[in-house]
Amino acid sequence: MTAKNEIFFKKLFEETHGKAFNFLKALSKDENVAREVVQTSFIKIWKNIEKFKNHPNPQALVYTTVKNVFLDEMRKQNRLNAVLTSIEENEHLNHTIADTGEDSSIAGETFTEVHRAIRKLPERLQRIYTLYQFEELTPLEIADTLQLSITTIRTNIETAKLFLRKELRKYRN
């Protein structure tokens, strides 16, 4: 990172951080959520500082980034809430989760096998699949981050999924 980039980032941060935080605090009605989303947003901005430096209105791009990170976070939270609600509503799932040690050892074994299968992927596919599946980045965000085409990212995700389906076939019901 060059000194010019650091100076630009510091100035951009000072100009926009307070307003971004207040905007998110009002939107989320939760100071902790606002703080976390602003922090995540500025990390993303730091990683893409050249894009902001070359933008005609970097302050507007900051607010767009903050808004998008907030929306992504809310989508993740909604997915998590949906899963938890589904578990609570389906007693058979509760029974399965809290079942005997034998069942939990099978679940642990499956978890281990999933991670083992992921580690068998070539490094590039591992990275792309991990960003997609666990970091919940969109193919477009991954393409931006890795400086690859969106077609390449989508192809790599599908290749990884196909490989993992084959690798994990014995763990399916």
For residue range 70-101, list pLDDT tens digits in order. Answer: 988 888 777 656 655 654 554 443 344 444 44
pLDDT for 69 beyond 60: yes
Phi/psi at 134 (nearest 5 deg)?
A: -105, -35
Taking each helix axis from N to C end, the angle separating 123-133 and 150-167, rounded to the nearest 10 degrees, works out to: 90
How far is Cα 117 from Cα 131, in angstroms, rounded to an integer?
A: 16
The gap between the terminal CA atoms of the chain, to the nearest Å, is 50
Query: Which of 90-94, 111-115, 128-132 is modeled with the greatest confidence?
Result: 128-132
Instruction: Tell me whether residue 16 is exposed, middle or buried, using C-beta atoms within 10 angstroms of its C-beta: 0 to 12, 13 to 18, 19 or more.
Output: buried
Domains of the chain: 1-98 (1.10.1740), 100-173 (1.10.10.10)
Q: How confident is the model at residue 33 (pLDDT cuts 50, 70, 90)?
A: confident
Average of per-residue pLDDT across 99-117: 61
Report DSSP letters for 44-96, one per residue.
HHHHTHHHHHTSS-HHHHHHHHHHHHHHHHHHHHHHHHHHHHHHHH-HHHHHH
Instruction: Tell me whether residue 10 is exposed, middle or buried, using C-beta atoms within 10 angstroms of its C-beta: 0 to 12, 13 to 18, 19 or more.
Output: exposed
Phi/psi at 139 (nearest 5 deg)?
A: -55, -35
Least confident of 11-20, 26-35, 103-112, 163-172: 103-112
Nearest to 108 by CA among 171, 173, 161, 164: 171
| Residue 71 · residue 24 · CB < 8 Å | no
